[in-house]
Structure 1
């Protein structure tokens, strides 16, 4: 999927191609965005900006996706784009663009801002698995690699069940914000063959190893992605963890 097994998680209004370039020496993947790509989600994003939240609001969001991914075509890092939409047509267009750049399209079932949830985006999709799976199918039909970004601790939502459903719909990756429920990574990893990226609190060696021990295939760094020292320590931990597993497999063979 990508190597090294360290990803940069999207930060609204911050995660563009320049941001990814600054960290390309440390990470194997970078999820740009998130970006609202249909009219209702764009209205919601403008409301968020009005209350001082950073958001990407280009005049043409799909052209922005194409331009930012193009700026990473020659980068030693696999790009992805985190998108928000309550409707399927823009998702198809965004997925086609991601496929053209060998990038990952990441469907946002994660954001919990009231404005976004009110228009059927973000966390709302976790509560409506049918619509989430329709979005996954739409993206997967283009041939793009599909990630679904989710969060733990949503009342009434089983992430292992969600993982199984989106896998059946064609997803390749599940990117899990564990919140304060780190054990959910093991539950999701045991439930599916999806590539599992663990997110939340990845700052140091101990946290990265814990998630990998629990079955994650990779970890992602969010807010500290602009701190080279943090990225360097996490990268070293990830590399060491996988090297140890290879050595153990060789010794056992």
Structure 2
């Protein structure tokens, strides 16, 4: 899906095209966003900013997705956009933009903020696999490559089963925040043919290599995504690991 097999993970209100361009030497993919697409999630985002959370709240979120992806049109990386929605229409429109821009649409089933979950988005979708599958199918039918961002350690949610469900619905990748349950990456990799991106605690060679040993196809970096030293170490680990895979 991309090389080097290092991605920048979305950071709400911070992960825009300028953020991605600053470190293109070190990564193969950048997940911009997340951004709230429909009125329910936009209202949730407004409530979140009231308690000092950072959020993108442009007047027209679909136009914002298009403009930001356009700003990366000549960048040497795979662009992607993390989106949150409780309804299908905005997902379809965002997917069409991603299709036309050659970008990946990432559906957010990860955000655990109470306001976003109450709106029917984020982590709520982990507990409603039918609704999540409908979003995946809508985006895939619109012609976009689809990733789903998920979180481990959610009570009652078996991520390998969920991964199979989203794969059947048309997803191409699953972006796994492993929390403190790193072996779940292996369980998901064994259960599906999805491109598995592992996230959480990636800070250098050792943490990246641990995820690759569990079968991750790539890793993503969150908070240190603006630290070239961290990104260079992770990139070297990824390049070393996959060069051994080719020659081994």
Do both share a fold (TM > 0.5)?
yes
Q: Answer yes or no: is 1:185 the counterpart of 2:185.
A: yes
Runs of 4+ in 1 over 4 A off after TM superposition: none
Give deviations 1:33-52, integer Å, cap 9, x for gaps.
00000000000000000000
Once the two structures are TM-superposed, the CA of residue 64 in structure 1 deviates from its matched residue by 0.2
Report the Cα distance in structure 2 between the residues aligned to 1:247 and 1:43, rounded to whole angstroms.
Answer: 51
Structure 2 spans left out of the alignment, 5+ residues? none
Report the Cα distance in structure 2 between the residues aligned to 1:91 and 1:243, rounded to whole angstroms.
Answer: 37
Normalising by structure 1, we get a TM-score of: 0.98
1:143 corresponds to = 143
1:132 corresponds to = 132
Q: Secondary structure, in 3 states, of the residue corresponding to 1:232?
A: helix
Give deviations 1:188-230, integer Å, cap 9, x for gaps.
0000000000000000111111101110000000000000000
2:70 corresponds to = 70
Q: Secondary structure, in 3 states, of the residue corresponding to 2:86?
A: coil
Report the Cα distance in structure 1 between the residues aligned to 2:130 and 2:46, rounded to whole angstroms.
Answer: 27
Report the Cα distance in structure 2 between the residues aligned to 1:173 and 1:219, rounded to whole angstroms.
Answer: 12
Once the two structures are TM-superposed, the CA of residue 247 in structure 1 deviates from its matched residue by 1.6
Q: Answer yes or no: is 1:83 the counterpart of 2:86.
A: no
Structure 1 spans left out of the alignment, 5+ residues? 249-253
1:35 corresponds to = 35
Once the two structures are TM-superposed, the CA of residue 142 in structure 1 deviates from its matched residue by 1.0
2:8 corresponds to = 8
Once the two structures are TM-superposed, the CA of residue 244 in structure 1 deviates from its matched residue by 1.2
Report the Cα distance in structure 1 between the residues aligned to 2:31 and 2:245, rounded to whole angstroms.
Answer: 27
Once the two structures are TM-superposed, the CA of residue 111 in structure 1 deviates from its matched residue by 0.2
Normalising by structure 2, we get a TM-score of: 1.00
Report the Cα distance in structure 1 between the residues aligned to 2:206 and 2:65, rounded to whole angstroms.
Answer: 35
Report the Cα distance in structure 1 between the residues aligned to 2:69 and 2:246, rounded to whole angstroms.
Answer: 33
Report the Cα distance in structure 2 between the residues aligned to 1:90 and 1:228, rounded to whole angstroms.
Answer: 34
Report the Cα distance in structure 1 between the residues aligned to 2:213 and 2:22, rounded to whole angstroms.
Answer: 29
Report the Cα distance in structure 1 between the residues aligned to 2:204 and 2:19, rounded to whole angstroms.
Answer: 21
Once the two structures are TM-superposed, the CA of residue 245 in structure 1 deviates from its matched residue by 1.4
Once the two structures are TM-superposed, the CA of residue 100 in structure 1 deviates from its matched residue by 0.4
2:210 corresponds to = 210
Report the Cα distance in structure 2 between the residues aligned to 1:169 and 1:133, rounded to whole angstroms.
Answer: 6
Report the Cα distance in structure 1 between the residues aligned to 2:243 and 2:128, rounded to whole angstroms.
Answer: 40
> Where do residues 44-59 of structure 1 align in structure 2 (5 Å cutoff)?
44-59=44-59
Report the Cα distance in structure 1 between the residues aligned to 2:170 and 2:144, rounded to whole angstroms.
Answer: 10
Once the two structures are TM-superposed, the CA of residue 23 in structure 1 deviates from its matched residue by 1.1
Report the Cα distance in structure 2 between the residues aligned to 1:102 and 1:210, rounded to whole angstroms.
Answer: 31
Give deviations 1:85-104, integer Å, cap 9, x for gaps.
00000000000000000000
Report the Cα distance in structure 1 between the residues aligned to 2:245 and 2:90, rounded to whole angstroms.
Answer: 41
Report the Cα distance in structure 2 between the residues aligned to 1:246 and 1:145, rounded to whole angstroms.
Answer: 25
Give deviations 1:43-101, integer Å, cap 9, x for gaps.
00000000000000001100000000000010001100000000000000000000000
